[in-house]
Structure 1
Amino acid sequence: MASIGAPASHISPTGVVFSSSRNVPTLEAKGSATSSASASINEAEKAESWDDEKALARYLVPALEKGQKNARLKPPTPWIRFRVWYNPYRMNFSLAFALNMIAIVVSCTHRWGYAENHAAALALGNLTASVACRNEFFLRYFLADTSMQWAPLWWRIFLTGFIQHIGGIHSGCAAAGIAWFFFLVIRTFQHHVAKHTPAVVLAWGIITLVVINVVMFAAMPWIRAHHHNFFERHHRFAGWLAVVFVWIFVCINDSYNTENGKFHSNGNHLAKTQEFWYALFITVLIAVPWFTVRKVPVEITTPSPRVAVIKFQKGIQQGLLGRISRSATVEYHGFGIISEGIESNTHYIIAGVQGDWTRGLVNDPPKFLYTREMKFAGLPYLAHFFRRGIAICTGSGIGAVLSTTVQLDNWFLIWIGSDMEKSFGPVLFDMINRTMPKERYILFDTKKEGRRPDTMKMLKEIYTSFKAEVVLITSNPAGNAELMQGCKENGMHSFGPLWDS
């Protein structure tokens, strides 16, 4: 890899030159001199864009002084920090939850007769929306693989933000659905004398409420971050149990006749209720992905004690993520998928060691893993919304974006890490060198160079020169916040990973 201050004519084996003394080459004079007078405006723009890309092969990465962590002279303003913190995820949560809370308040005043008679339907409707927003089957068909590049940029940015942060609707509607269950159970107890409600209906309402509350509290961000196994087991298995209890509650509630105080069995009547169809839709959405679980052979290499490179059979399109486990039902973990395309014979997952489960992949690599053939769409799946973009990542974050930059020639890759070739092995570097021209990627090894890049300066220059519309960031929480804040300050559209989605 080239050293700091290398001449511009020298290109490193990984296609990048490092220097702190030069900016991106100026590009305004290129393109038009070679265009014929009869060339169309569109052809001239394409020629200029092509020349601009070629110039990026000679780009010199601005580097910081040794020991300097970033080039920021002052912290971001409170407004910038708030804009990054109050992202569309929290907006979606606020909107979904607030609208339902307003509806419940109105219902408590006895001014909404529908809620008095169909509180269970409102609860299950919210839970249906919640499940759908986290379901591989629903999202893959909702996110049709169709280009949106014809639409105005503001709309594509809005739509990307909404889809990426649709988890806000998942958590907002789940919390609201539980609130509606509280409303329903309280109302049932208030009217149980007048309506002669039997004890079994009251008891089952409480049991259902307790179980779905366990599901919700197991998914709290702090629990997910610090007790992932607790979250995994309780959120999944208590969730399945909650579905069973919901079915029992729906059937019992429908079969009880408040007029004569007796139970009756009428399947035709049950099938006409909203509650029945909501419960059925929830069950189908939850069950379908599990029918695609397969035990598949894998080859695991461990180039370093920090990383496991997992090789699978079959190629995968860009932007998809996969869940893997040693067991068919317990402890699934999601990772980005690296593949050269659906025509390829293989795909890879890069598992960085972060806990006991990933450490086990390094210390005791299995020959088989369980995975779902139905993959779920990640943020890079929306890359086709944009004419040009930049994917910037650190460390094992390469797993989420490499397929995008390999399979789509309108995306630029920036990968920053420490001792990268030793940590990740030759597979990724071979794929990059074989499939991507030198003008479309930058690899910066902080250990080899002995310093960090001036990331925001580099990102601004590449953003301008590559004519990018958006930046996708895959880093740790601190690095993600820093880059997101810098992009906000410099008017660049950007999206980063979520840890509570």
Structure 2
Amino acid sequence: MSSVPAPEGASPAYDAAEKGTLDVHLGPTEITVMGLKDERKVDATLILSKEVVAPSKPAAVKTPAKKKVSKWILWTLWFNTYRKLFTFVFTINMVGIGLAASGHFPYAVHWTGAMALGNLNFAILMRNELFGRFLYLFVNTFFAKWTFLWWRLGCTSVLQHLGGIHSGCALSGVSWLILKVVNNFRHHSVNHDSILIVGTITNIVVIISALSAFPWVRNTHHNIFERHHRFVGWLGLILTWVFTILGDSYNPETRTWNLSGQHILRQQDFWFAMGMTTFIIIPWLCVREVPVDIELPSPKVAIVRFKRGMQQGLLGRISRTSIMEYHAFGIISEGTHAKYHYMICGVQGGDFTRSLVNDPPRTLWTRELKFAGVSNTSTLYKRGVRICTGTGIGAALSTCLQSPHWYLIWIGSDQEKTFGPTISGLIHRHIGPERLLLWDSKLRGGRPDTMKILKEAYYSWEAEVVFITSNYIGNSEIMQGCKEAGIPAFGTLWDFVGVTLYKSLFLLA
């Protein structure tokens, strides 16, 4: 999550479905009321009657003027755990590189390659689905509910922002690799030409792979990001192996080659390269082509149904091909016992999501090993509020379906017509009116005072935390409001940035 102003081209605060611009018929519909634990009087504008017949002209809801947020709140939200982890990791490595370059860090001078590959190895580990699932399982198993709230909030924050370690180690690994190649050229007289050439090519390829992951590239040119970060990254891994074996086999003092396998196995960088390879391969071993059913309740939404149930708080990657254009979506499921799980794919203009509506496939490629999202830590808390807008219900709904201790607020436009009977049925079958607020922005003539209804729900429900799934501007507004009100909250991670290199470095992931 970032609290800086939205850049040019960023998503609007509410999409077409939420603003009520979809061309759908509005007739009598059933809206569930907001239930509160106590009997305090609630503002009538926050409650929707159970049977509502749409008026010819919905009464306008006055959107409150946007409050000016203090610079301190903006700063604390911007300098979140992600950037703190990145700053710590990158700073430590830069100090080490400085000491090594000046000759004051003999270990790093001798094992510069191991320092580079060690960082890259850890960067890849942080993005490995299996490792992530293990961390979430460990935290959820040993710290749920009984530990201090500040500790549980800290665990959620660190797990959500592991990307800070990933980006910090990745950029540090590239920096160490540059130092390694520079040192080789400084002592070119005792190094073999093949080592110099392969080292230079490896450096270029790894740098290209890292640059392709910068947020501006990833968010505005997704296919370019995938092709370069994935395929150039794989080429970089192959070249890293060649560079590592050449470097470990050559003795610059005697200028001879030692091709003994036992000698190579004793080198640190060999095992770091082995770790990188293993962590990259594991998720791809779980790729499968699976049958799907696609429901099209409106031109703007595709509901993709898969077989088998899932635990809450997971996200899945899907694609039409086995290795290209994977997109991540939240998973909706009634539990591991369920027959199906679902993904809500909103058509936001991308070729992939649009093709799901225009040309629904019978099968999709997916990684059977799903990765955990911040909602997976919901089991840490005794009670919580899950607020979402539009298609954000896809990432939020499972938590409220599978736990009676979570309150759902969903802001959207004519939800039943837009998202279809499947999603509506799941909500009404499993979530009682005492822990549900549906706000129909089309019926009500506009969006609500979000912080007002959120505060009502948070305090009446006696919640410990709020999880938010919205777009950039909506997420920022709610996070700022929660921070100002002293409500613990975790929002969607957005890393849109401007054109400055400084911001790009802090947001590389």
What is the TM-score when the length of structure 1 is the normalising length? 0.88
Aligned to 1:192: 188
- The residue that corresponds to 1:256 in the other structure is 250
Secondary structure of 1:342's counterpart equals coil
Task: Give me the whole-angstrom Cα distance separating, in 1, the residues matched to 2:78 and 2:472.
Answer: 12
Give matches, 1:51-450, under 5 Å.
52=38, 62=46, 66=60, 68-72=62-66, 74-144=67-137, 145-146=140-141, 147-193=143-189, 196-354=190-348, 355-450=350-445
Question: Helix, strand or coil for the counterpart of 2:305?
Answer: strand
Contact 1:57 1:438 in 2 (8 A): no
Structure 1 residues 57 and 308: alpha-carbon distance in aligned structure 2, compared to 1, 3 A threshold: farther
Runs of 4+ off more than 6 Å: 56-59
Corresponding residue number in structure 2 for 1:45: none
Deviation, 1:451, is: 2.5
Say which SS state the counterpart of residue 425 (structure 1) adopts. Answer: helix
The structure-2 alpha-carbon separation of the partners of 1:59 and 1:300, relative to structure 1 and needing over 3 Å to count, comes to farther
How big is each residue's C-alpha offset from its partner over 1:167-223, in whole Å with a ceiling of 9 and x where there is no partner? 011111100000000111111111222xx1011000111111011111111001011
How many residues end up aligned between the 2 structures? 454
Q: Give ranges in structure 1 of 5+ residues lacking alignment.
A: 1-11, 18-23, 26-50
Matches within 5 A, 1:26-37: none
Distance 1:383 1:259 in 2: 58
Could you tell me which amino acid in structure 2 is paired with residue 177 of structure 1?
A: G
Counterpart-to-counterpart distance in 2, 1:203 and 1:294 = 39
Instruction: Return the alpha-carbon distance in structure 1 between the equivalents of residues 396 and 372 of structure 2.
Output: 12
Conserved in 2, the CA contact under 8 Å of 1:289 and 1:374? yes
The CA distance in 1 between the partners of 2:494 and 2:351, in whole Å, is: 19
Q: Secondary structure at the match of 2:341?
A: strand
Secondary structure, aligned partner of 2:411: strand
Query: Aligned pair in 2 of structure 1 residues 14, 56: CA closer, same or farther (>3 Å)?
Result: farther
Matched with 1:47 is none
**Superimposed CA distance per residue, residues 416-452 of structure 1 (whole angstroms, 9 cap, x where no aligned partner):** 0112222111111100111111111111110011132
Task: Give the 3-state SS of the residue equivalent to 1:444 in structure 2.
Answer: strand
The 1:189/1:143 distance shift into structure 2, 3 A limit, reads same
Pick closer, same or farther for the CA change 1:123–1:86 going to 2, 3 Å: same
Distance in 2 separating the partners of 1:494 and 1:403: 18
Instruction: Give, as a single letter, the amino acid of the residue that structure 1 aligns with 2:377.
Output: L
CA deviation vs aligned residue, 1:214-244 (integer Å, no higher than 9, x gap): 1111001011111111001111111111111
User: Equivalents in 2 of 1:57, 1:221: separation in Å?
Assistant: 46
Report the TM-score when normalising by structure 2. 0.86
Residues 264 and 330 of structure 1, relative CA distance in 2, 3 Å threshold: same
- For residues 377-415 of structure 1, the C-alpha deviation after alignment (integer angstroms, 9 at most, x for no partner) is 011011111111111000000000100110011111100
- Seen in structure 2, the aligned counterparts of structure 1 residues 337 and 56 have a Cα distance that, compared at 3 Å, is farther
Corresponding residue for residue 15 of structure 1: 32
1:61 deviation in Å? 5.2
Matched, 1:456 2:473: no
Secondary structure of 2:443's counterpart equals helix
Is the 2:316–2:370 contact (alpha carbons within 8 Å) kept by the matching residues of 1?
Answer: yes
Question: What is the RMSD of the two structures over their aligned residues, measured on CA atoms?
Answer: 1.9
Contact kept in structure 1, 2:61 and 2:448, CA below 8 Å: no
Structure 1 equivalent of residue 506 of structure 2: none
Structure 1 residue 499: Cα displacement: 2.9
Q: Which moved more, 1:316-325 or 1:453-462?
A: 453-462
Structure 1 residues 134 and 57, CA gap change in structure 2 (3 angstroms) = farther
The alpha carbon displacement at 1:87 in A equals 1.3
Higher RCO (C-alpha under 8 Å, 6+ residues apart): 2
With 260-269 and 282-291 compared, the bigger mean Cα shift is at 260-269
CA separation in 1, counterparts of 2:263 and 2:101?
28
Following superposition, the deviation at residue 297 of structure 1 comes to 0.4
> Matched residues, percent identical?
48
Whether the 8 Å CA contact 1:317–1:339 is kept in 2: the answer is yes
SS at match of 2:330: strand
Counterpart position of 1:489: 484
CA drift of 1:14 comes to: 3.5
